Amino acid sequence: MAGEPEVFGARGSVGVVVVPGLHGRDDYVRSVGRDLAAAGFPAAVVDLYGGAQPASYEEAAPLRAKLTDELVLERLEAGRDAVARKLIPHARVGTLGFSLGGGYALFGACRRRFHFAIDFYGRMERPDDLDGLGGPALLLLASDDDPVTPWTFAELLPTAARLKKRVTVELYPGAKHGFHRPGRPAHHAEAAADAWKRTLSFLAEQRPGRPGSR
């Protein structure tokens, strides 16, 4: 149903709310949900655009302009509730997103009840929102990404240090914004494979009872 989260996977102890990028809940983002589920992490892929599926940047731009913090947080909460039904008691739920969705994944983990965040090359508007981050965050960045990477090192990481938040950064030399997405000019197979390996390792660390989880 339009606007409803799409859930993948069976029962587990760690769930993931997947936040699409600018192009919405397309086949690529659904494949991420399936891959997470196949690795043992049930996933709910949210629909930020309420059923709209833009075919180009020009179609996506006005949809993005209509997004508000309140709407995005509402969709993330719906994703959390949907994936929670696939989880065992006392399980942990976090966020994961790409580009626009990466920024919203981090923002959502700062503003709502999530245990962790994974941000592929996204940025949020206000670094001070990190004050609400209740668990670890993993940032997967491209070296050649002017809108995101310099901002992360100049503003986000100093804020994280000041607020005593656990934020881990992996920087991929020679990679560009969007390196994880296959079939695009920016795709970087080596960086994408390593980032995914680190994502799964990070998720495994979030299992209840594991060192570092909280």
Q: What is the pLDDT of residue 202?
A: 98
pLDDT tens figures, 41-53:
999 999 999 999 9
Nearest to 109 by CA among 123, 95, 126: 95
What is the domain partition of the chain in residue ranges? Answer: 6-205
pLDDT tens figures, 9-34:
989 999 999 999 999 999 999 999 99
Residues lower than pLDDT 70 in the chain: 1-2, 210-214
Q: What is the pLDDT of residue 57?
A: 87
- Judged on CB neighbours under 10 Å (0-12, 13-18, 19+), 10 is exposed
Domain at 6-205, CATH class: alpha beta
Question: What element of type H or E holds 101?
Answer: helix 100-111
Cα distance between residue 162 and residue 187, in whole Å? 34
